[in-house]
Amino acid sequence: MLFKNILGHDDTKRALIRSVQNNHVAHAQLFDGPVGGAGIALAWAFATFVNCEDRQPDDACGRCASCSKMRKLVHPDVYHIFPLPRTPKEGEDLLGELTPKWRAFLEEHPYRALPEWLAYINATGNQQGIIPIKESRSIVSKLSLKAFEGEFKIMLFWQPELLNVQAANALLKILEEPPEKTLFLIVSSQSDKLLTTIISRTQRVAIRAFTDEEVTQFLAQKGIDERRARQIAYLCEGNLAEAMRLTNETEDDRHAWFAQWMRKCYSRDFVSLVKLADEFDTLGKEKQKGIFDYTLNLFRDLFLWQNGVEELLRLQDEELSFVQKFGKAVNPGAIELLIQEITDGYYHLERNARAKVLFLDISLTAARTMRG
Amino acid sequence: MADNFVVSARKYRPVTFDTVVGQSHITTTLKNAIRTNHLAQAFLFCGPRGVGKTTNARILAKTINCQSLTEDVEPCGECESCVAFQNNASFNVHELDAASNNSVDDIRNLIDQVRYPPQTGKYKIYIIDEVHMLSSAAFNAFLKTLEEPPSYAIFILATTEKHKILPTILSRCQIFDFNRIQPRDIADHIEQIAKKEGIKTEREALELIAQKADGGLRDALSMFDLNVTFSTDNTVRYKEVLENLHILDYDYYFRLTDALLAGNLSETLLIFNEVLKKGFDGHLFVIGMLEHFRNLLVSKDSATVQLLEVSETAKNKYLDQSTRASLSFLLSALSVGGQCDINYKASKQQRLHVELCLMKMAKLTEVLDLEALAADEKKKPNVGAGPGGVPLASAQNDNNGSSPNAQGNPVNRTDANASSLPTTAEPTITYQNAPNGKGLPLGKLRSTVNLSTSITDTPAPTQVSKPVEVALDALPEKDLPVTMEALKEVWAEFSRMREQNGGAVSEQIMLNRDFLFENMTIELVLDNLHQETLLNEIKPTLLGYLRRKLQNRQIQLSHQIAQSDGKRNPYTPQEKFNVLAERNPALFDLQRLLGLEVDF
């Protein structure tokens, strides 16, 4: 992974490169950004750059021995720490066993989220991903070795928020005063869950989420047509892991569904609302949640439009005209109520409420309140 | 990359007591202890992260083993012991990481080592860092040694979490509580370091770092390093610090508050969007906004202005804005924002969640104005102040308290608030349940919202107490005769009144029944114990009411619980047996002779 392969984030890249050029690399850096952002990719690229034998002014060369090893993540001086599905048994090297999978996982594309990783290694239902104390100890012992061939030993550390209390505390001393030529690159998406004692030992590199344009661009590279890419960008809010998940979903027409639903609610066509609820019930759970997600997004746009903040709307074509027409018709107070209803509904849906009943209930509330 | 870059927190770790920042109460004590040779055998250093626990432990270790102390009790840095220590090669100072060596075996090893006296120097010092992670078995194994170690052994324990340490350990140690370091000290310290490193700084930038560090010097130095790394020309500027540390400039909050005060919703939404575009977290934004309101609230009163921990220019800005924001606005906005903060994580569309919150805040001024308007229309003398100074809660009460027919516009407004202003609306809800069933005459309670008894002297409290006085005073000197009809009428009246005031159904069942009236005593027959409790609760009210209405002090009320007339059906096997045996006594004989037990 080279810096140039990562979309956007030019400021961060420049700062990281400058830190190496000025010989000002802190030994522990916390790449802190949202889920599905560029954190791990940037850490990877940074590690490549640091150990590159022929550093270019604005990127690693990508050709030297170190870079080609880094491309496959098999550099002997780079250690990986990532969440395991369970605590390893006595004498078991679970981390070692899973490392090849981890490499393959990142090589697919580096913008990943924890659930994906757990699915990738076939973790069973209630395995949440943990970093046990054994891994902390192994860090300490691995770092007591000298670097094999590169200049730095690099510890690439993903999801430190999953460290349990013992493991996190066991890291404190080594994190504060590691042996010479050691770099901790810690990639976190929920830094507020880390111990303050860990945060205070690291330099925080803030990473923003991807913009809509960057997501669209990324999806276009993956060969997805523009309209669909824009739609996904609208839904995923800069989370590329989510964007990739959405591309694998079958193309569906949420907007048509939503528009139909709202029209029927507005015209108080109860007979077809009941039919619609039956139809809703037959959709898969993910799809049902998808519709609710979309509804919330669109309600937000309605809300913005009604409050006269049109420049914030990110919609186009038919969706925009829908919002404009619907926004005129619907009662502003109802929007707020419905948002609450749907948020609650989402919660209940996740906890296995009967979709048919839930949907009809929301529809009826909508029909009752919409016209004010 | 020639020499290694070492982060400032390590590079500039103090090596003498004098250079320790902001912990003079501890360094002086330690120095005195060394000078007078009053060293305890065990120390416990505790305090938040990055305030110098480990540093002080090391300095202490170095100082007490130094062979030629300087005049003011500092290590010389030249003798054999000091040099060995500086090279990390001292045989007498052992630093342990208790977090990774936390088992009881590790402690046993340690105890074994303690038995050997030092080969050079006077003391053997054990620094046990992160000591809160020791297992409880390890702690207990350590107790004896910690209490009575050999004369040459000294233990220094360091931790951020004192509460996790056994009390038996605590009582054996001399405890030193480290303070958070004051922002001013941090800023000064960084300035010195910057000078040594040849880095230009802006004072405001340093103060910002110091503030953000929240008392931890290491945090501050990490941030400082970060900013140096990110700067192109070795200068730390305020603007860049804001960006690098991901701090939202308070200007945003000033603009936001102005827009909110003007009720300009679209402007606030645009500001929020701008903030998000810059990559700030929505939740942090909400928290920052609440903090801003808090600062405004604090600057409203000249006595509390000193609680503001901001630079001089910012302070003036706060003072300026606080004159424009009314107290009621701030309180209500805080409560709306607090609610938003609580529900933020649970919300599915968090952005929308914040936007709705902003909308409520933007409408606040409007609502508050209406409140004041309504209050003025009522021409209540107490309300005079309007949105200028009276908190919303009391303004509401004035409206409610005025009279029961005040249910026009103002009450509707209050209802609208109930959804948007959770905390201010709360008291209005609770009052309805609270006085129910107490000795007060409930007939008046609907109209007397007496929440404000403790806050202001609205007319409400007097109204509450009046009927009681009436009940006492109005009792006539002479008792008038009481007829059954009159009594029944008054009784029914009382019952109706209770019903209107939301009395329980069971209460109605109890009241609406026939009773006997003899010798000035009402005899009531109740169905069950529950009714008896109910009756006892309202008895004083009821009697007071009857006596007053009928002008007779002699009326008494007695009751009894009716025996259940229906015959009790046998349920248990034993009961059934008894019933059968009564009919046919031979069964008893059968049971007795054969020694049978009831079981079917």
Q: Report the Cα B334 to chain-centroid distance in Å.
A: 15
- Partners of B157 in beta bridges: B44, B128
The residues, any chain, with a CB within 8 Å of residue A16's CB and separated by 6 or more, are A3, A42, A46, A49, A205
Average pLDDT over residues A349-360: 88
A336 vs B contacts (CB less than 8 Å)? 356
Question: Which pLDDT band, with edges at 50, 70 and 90, does B372 fall under?
Answer: low
Task: Give the DSSP H or E segment for A356.
Answer: helix A355-370
**Could you tell me how many residues make up chain B?**
600
- A98-102, A260-264, B499-503: the lowest-pLDDT one: B499-503
Beta carbons of A203 and B225 less than 8 Å apart: yes
Beta carbons of A200 and B269 less than 8 Å apart: no
Beta carbons of A18 and B230 less than 8 Å apart: yes
Beta carbons of A23 and B1 less than 8 Å apart: yes
Decide if B233 touches A, using CB distance below 8 A.
no
CB neighbours of residue A27 within 10 Å: 24
B273 vs A contacts (CB less than 8 Å)? 312
Decide if B50 touches A, using CB distance below 8 A.
yes
CB neighbours of residue B197 within 10 Å: 15
Question: Which pLDDT band, with edges at 50, 70 and 90, does B158 fall under?
Answer: very high
Contact predicate B136/B165, CB 8 Å? no
Average pLDDT over residues A85-99: 85
Residue of A nearest to B2 (CA): A23
A197 vs B contacts (CB less than 8 Å)? 49, 160
For an interface test with A, which of B3, B49, B275, B345 has the most A Cβ atoms less than 10 Å from its Cβ?
B49
Interchain CB contacts (distance < 8 Å): A and B: 136
Of B217, B42, B17, nearest to B127 by C-alpha is B42
Decide if B525 touches A, using CB distance below 8 A.
no
CATH number of the structural domain B484-561: 3.30.300
Domain ranges of chain A: 3-208, 214-247, 254-369
Percent of chain A with pLDDT over 90: 9
Residue of A nearest to B96 (CA): A173
Residue of B nearest to A26 (CA): B7
The residues, any chain, with a CB within 8 Å of residue B340's CB and separated by 6 or more, are B286, B353, B354, B356, B357
State yes or no: pLDDT of B512 exceeds 90: no
Query: Over chain B, what is the mean pLDDT?
Result: 77
Beta carbons of B99 and A170 less than 8 Å apart: yes
The residues, any chain, with a CB within 8 Å of residue B118's CB and separated by 6 or more, are B91, B92, B124, B152
Decide if B239 touches A, using CB distance below 8 A.
no
Q: What is the spatial distance between Cα A326 and Cα B243, in angstroms, rounded to a whole number? A: 40
Which burial class, exposed, middle or buried, applies to B400 when counting CB atoms under 10 A from its CB (0-12, 13-18, 19+)? buried
B100 vs A contacts (CB less than 8 Å)? 136-137, 140, 170, 173
Question: Which pLDDT band, with edges at 50, 70 and 90, does B172 fall under?
Answer: very high
The residues, any chain, with a CB within 8 Å of residue A148's CB and separated by 6 or more, are A76, A77
Decide if B230 touches A, using CB distance below 8 A.
yes
Decide if B419 touches A, using CB distance below 8 A.
no
Give the predicted TM-score (pTM) of the model.
0.65
A304 vs B contacts (CB less than 8 Å)? 269, 355
Distance (Å) from the alpha carbon of B234 to chain A's nearest alpha carbon: 10
| Residue B178 DSSP class | P
DSSP A211-253: PHHHHHHHHHHTT--HHHHHHHHHHHTT-HHHHHHHHHSPP--
Q: Where in chain B is the domain with CATH 3.40.50.300?
A: 8-177
What kind of fold does domain B183-245 have according to CATH?
Answer: Helicase, Ruva Protein; domain 3 (1.10.8)
- In this prediction, the answer to ipTM > 0.95 reads no
Residue pLDDT, tens place only, B254-295: 999 999 888 888 888 888 888 887 777 788 889 889 989 998
In chain A, beta strands by DSSP E: 28-32, 78-81, 153-158, 182-188, 203-206
Residue pLDDT, tens place only, B115-149: 888 887 788 999 999 999 999 999 999 999 998 99
- Amino acid symbol at A354: R
Task: Give the DSSP H or E segment for B85.
Answer: helix B80-86
A208 vs B contacts (CB less than 8 Å)? 278-279
- B194-198, B248-252, B411-415: the lowest-pLDDT one: B411-415
Q: What is the spatial distance between Cα A202 and Cα A186, in angstroms, rounded to a whole number? A: 9
Position of tokens 């029961």?
A: B404
Residue pLDDT, tens place only, B332-346: 899 999 989 888 887
Average pLDDT over residues A302-310: 81
B46 vs A contacts (CB less than 8 Å)? none
Q: Where in chain B is the domain with CATH 1.10.8.60?
A: 183-245
Decide if B345 touches A, using CB distance below 8 A.
no
Residues 247-286 of chain B with CB under 8 A from chain A are 265-266, 269-270, 273, 278-279
Q: What is the spatial distance between Cα A327 and Cα B80, in angstroms, rounded to a whole number? A: 82
State yes or no: pLDDT of A323 exceeds 80: yes
Out of A173, A209, A336, closest to residue B356 by CB: A336
Beta carbons of B100 and A137 less than 8 Å apart: yes
CATH number of the structural domain B250-371: 1.20.272.10
- Amino acid symbol at B484: M
Q: Does domain A254-369 have CATH number 3.40.50.720?
A: no
Q: Which CATH class is domain A3-208?
A: alpha beta
Decide if B572 touches A, using CB distance below 8 A.
no
Give the architecture (CATH level 2) of B8-177: 3-Layer(aba) Sandwich (3.40)
Residue of A nearest to B359 (CA): A307
DSSP B509-562: HHHSS--EEETTEEEEEESSHHHHHHHHHHHHHHHHHHHHHHT-S--EEEEEEP
Beta carbons of A296 and B222 less than 8 Å apart: no
Q: What is the spatial distance between Cα A371 and Cα A326, in angstroms, rounded to a whole number? A: 11
B396 or B351, higher pLDDT: B351
Q: Report the pLDDT value the prediction gives residue A125, as an integer from 0 to 100.
A: 61
